[in-house]
Amino acid sequence: MLVIASFENSIFIELALSELEQNDISKERILAAPLDKRSEQRKLFDTIHRADGLSLFDAAAILGTCLMLLGAIYGYILKWGPIIWGIIGAVSGLLLGFLIKMMLIKKNKLGVKNITSEIVLMIRCEEHEYKTVEKILWDNQALGLTRIKNM
């Protein structure tokens, strides 16, 4: 059986490794592989072939609709009429919503998760050792854990 776990780069991975060795899991059955971090910035705009689930246009659409509706309603009592004020409200709401979302993304790194998996730990163990290995890994702050049974 192969147990695979991911860890942040911390002292907990060293503690897990030493505890595994104390429980008769030899070094030859353990592989720890560090992951390379992304060197380029994430792209802000989505394409047809790639989307990250972070939308820039949701706030723009909501604000554009609200301000268009208010412009059309109050346009009946203003000088230029409801159509012109509706268009002015829609355009200004779209721009305002887009700018607000851009500022939130740039300033707060919205959509970027703080927890990162930096080290992958693979352990070859027997079926009867799995519960011990699983407990050791969870006790030492593993981010995720899976097992692959032998075919």
- Is 89 in the same domain as 122? no
Residues 93 and 129 in one domain: no
* Average pLDDT of the segment spanning 106-114: 62
Summary mean pLDDT of the chain = 86
Beta strands in 25-143 (DSSP E): 30-34, 119-124
Is residue 117 very low, low, confident or very high in pLDDT (cuts 50, 70, 90)?
low
In whole angstroms, how far apart are CA 19 and each of 2, 15, 51, 89, 139? 18, 6, 41, 64, 10
CB 23 within 8 A of CB 132: yes
Whether the pTM exceeds 0.75: the reply is no
Q: Which domain holds residue 62?
A: 58-108
Task: Using pLDDT thresholds of 50, 70 and 90, give the confidence band for residue 113.
Answer: low
Give yes or no for a contact between 147 and 3, defined as CB atoms under 8 angstroms apart: yes
3-state secondary structure at position 118: coil
The verdict on 67 and 101 lying in the same domain is yes
Render pLDDT for 84-101 as a digit per residue (tens, 0 to 9). 999 999 999 999 999 998
